[in-house]
Structure 1
Amino acid sequence: MTEARTRQDFGLSGVTRRTFTGALAGLGAFAALGGSRAATQTPARNVVLVHGLFADGSSWSEVIPLLQSAGLNVTSVQNPLTTLPEAVAAAQRVLDRQDGPTVLAGHSFSGMIVTEAGVHPNVSALVYVAARAPDAGEDYAALAKTFPTPPASAGVLFDGDEGRLGEAGFLRDFAGDLPKARAKALFAVQQPFRKELLTGRTTHAAWRTKPSFYAVSTEDRTIDPDLERFMAKRMGATTIEVKASHVSLISQPGAIARLILSATRGA
């Protein structure tokens, strides 16, 4: 499979039977690429997904059917968006329920959760989707300041202790490649986050010991794409680049599903 093929979108937005069939065919072809490394590993049959800021668990709704149709057991965690320890605990409870090897995937802020909770013994591989990927104890905010400030940062609003992304910033800088009606529907289910969540630091860096995969969003206006590339390179991740906004999991779910499926095979 060529790199162009790997990046082709088999998304479900505006789904037709032909599009959905193509998505499944793409997933099947991608699975066949396991190679010698996959042959020596027990494939993961479980996938746990975690959402980030400005979202809820339904943000994975385009990816989930593709993974389920590939025979995987999929669970989307409802991140409480309160404190990092509480968010990690929510993911750990779901990981505890998994039977066998599990791929842990996170979008955006939840890369913090993947990095911390990924040391769980059930986790066989990590997938970061336009996500934070700090080292243990690292000040992510300080790291981010060494790269250009993304436009979405200016749109964050606070009501006391609760933060959220304003509508203009959400539509333009968070979900800029989605149809406006779809982006507005996502804005409507946005969950506020607590300020304290942003102060948390990881105590582990699971990517130092677990196979890692990273999807860079090249048109990202929420996390700088070069910061994403830096983190992916630092962890030695298997990396793809998707021409997408911050929400590639919604605008290009096929590409993200294939990356996750690759992680289940260890390819």
Structure 2
Amino acid sequence: MSTDQEIKNVVLVHGAFADGSGWRGVYDNLTARGYQVAIVQNPLTSLEDDVAATTRVLDQQDGPTILVGHSWGGSVITEAGVHPNVSGLVYVSALAPDAGETTAQQYEGFAATPEFVIDVTEDGYGFLNHAKFKSGFAHDASDADAAFLRDSQVPVNMAAFATALKNAAWQDKPTWAVIATDDKAFDQAMLQHMAKRSGATITNVSTSHAVFLTQPAVVADTIATAAKDAAHAVR
């Protein structure tokens, strides 16, 4: 798609085991630069529900928008990113399935991540193990920040990972990726594979899975680059 409009709208989509509050540093950085930033609060009850929550926020945007997803939020923006307001996608250590693929399939053939431990309740919802939370999710965050993330985590319906996507917005829209090279939630080869397959412009940063919290300036700079470049992109 092409547009000659300056892109000033940004929508941020959190992943599983989290909520939108972790985006505060990215939000502050971008709003200080004059961007209009909205944060989706995913219910994490199904792919369809999270896509619907994201679509409601996209509907509120007044023009071209950069859509950003962290972790599971990458699957959400891959589906929701076909929205006409979306001009570019930014994946932040995020999943990027193709149409017809499930999120769970992205793990096939890649190394296990033993420090990222999910405890599943009887009704099928997953929490990150409290004892392993910091080492698996946010090892380079302060103890206080990691504890807040741990204690405010939102459980995800594990069945969501088995839902096949109908669309892959990265097939048609310019894409960027910030990859945490010390991510303990995903095998590094898996992250690089997904980003390269999507045609993303990749930024690598030495940090944990909580890159959105620990490296907000890097994430914000990538979003700003996407906002500038997507305004003139044709793909």
TM-score, normalised on structure 1? 0.83
Query: What letter matches 2:85 in structure 1?
Result: N
Match of 1:90 in 2: 53
Deviations 1:151-179 (A, max 9, x none): 244x1011212210011221111001111
Q: CA deviation at 1:195?
A: 2.3
Query: What letter matches 2:199 in structure 1?
Result: G
More helix by share: 1
Deviations 1:22-64 (A, max 9, x none): xxxxxxxxxxxxxxxx9x7322110000000110010101110
Specify every segment of 5 or more residues in structure 2 that has no aligned partner in the other structure, as ranges. Answer: 231-235
Specify every segment of 5 or more residues in structure 1 that has no aligned partner in the other structure, as ranges. Answer: 1-37
What is the aligned residue count?
228
Show the 5 A alignment for 1:50-129: 50-129=13-92
Q: CA deviation at 1:145?
A: 2.1
Cα 1:152/1:52, change in 2 over 3 Å: farther
Matched, 1:222 2:180: no
Deviations 1:225-250 (A, max 9, x none): 11111111111111100100001111
- Provide the rounded CA distance (Å) in 1 between the counterparts of 2:52 and 2:115: 28
- Provide the rounded CA distance (Å) in 2 between the counterparts of 1:142 and 1:124: 27
Computed over aligned residues only, the root mean square deviation of the Cα atoms, in angstroms, reads 1.4
Deviates more, 1:193-202 or 1:240-249: 193-202
Deviations 1:194-228 (A, max 9, x none): 12222222100100100000011100000111111
Q: CA deviation at 1:147?
A: 0.7
Matched, 1:45 2:2: no
- Provide the rounded CA distance (Å) in 2 between the counterparts of 1:57 and 1:82: 15
Asked if the contact 1:43/1:266 (under 8 Å) is kept, the reply is: no
Q: Runs (4+) of structure 1 moved beyond 3 Å?
A: none
- Provide the rounded CA distance (Å) in 1 between the counterparts of 2:154 and 2:199: 32
Match of 1:185 in 2: 148
Cα 1:191/1:75, change in 2 over 3 Å: same
- Provide the rounded CA distance (Å) in 1 between the counterparts of 2:182 and 2:191: 11
Task: Say which one has the larger Rg.
Answer: 1
The alignment partner of 1:41 has SS state of coil
Match of 2:109 in 1: 146
Match of residue 262, structure 1, among 225, 228, 231: 225
Match of 2:174 in 1: 211
- Provide the rounded CA distance (Å) in 2 between the counterparts of 1:91 and 1:190: 19
